[in-house]
Amino acid sequence: MPCYAPLNFKTMTVKELKEAIANLPDEMEVVLQKDSEGNGYSPLAGADPDAVYIAETTWYGDVYSMDWTADDAFMSDEEWEEIKSKPRTLILHPVN
């Protein structure tokens, strides 16, 4: 069985992630896969549960930390308020 997801995947929720890892040892290392084809891997460095993800396509998008200001995001105050009103997304980031 391959360790990568097929190209016709659906996105995962925190609930589904918790279910998938519920019985794993607490000390197990977490490694992120670069893409759905398994073209590279990097250890998990951290997580930001206070961010917003705006999809540009079904393959990628932009992330905005709620620690930022409108200036940090290069937006007007009105644009930033619109981004801040979106649902939060858990962002996992790799070492590299």
Burial class (CB in 10 A: 0-12, 13-18, 19+), 94: middle
From residue 33, alpha-carbon distances to 4, 72, 77, 79 in Å are 8, 29, 35, 32
pTM for this predicted structure: 0.76
Predicted confidence (pLDDT) per residue in 14-43, tens digit: 999 999 999 999 999 999 998 878 889 999
DSSP state for residue 18 in the 8-state scheme: H
3-state secondary structure of 81: helix
What is the DSSP annotation of 38-80?
---EEEEEEEEEEEEEEESSSS-EEEEETT--TTTTT--HHHH
C-alpha dihedral (23, 25, 29, 34), degrees to nearest 10: -10
For residues 7 and 54, the model is more confident at: 54
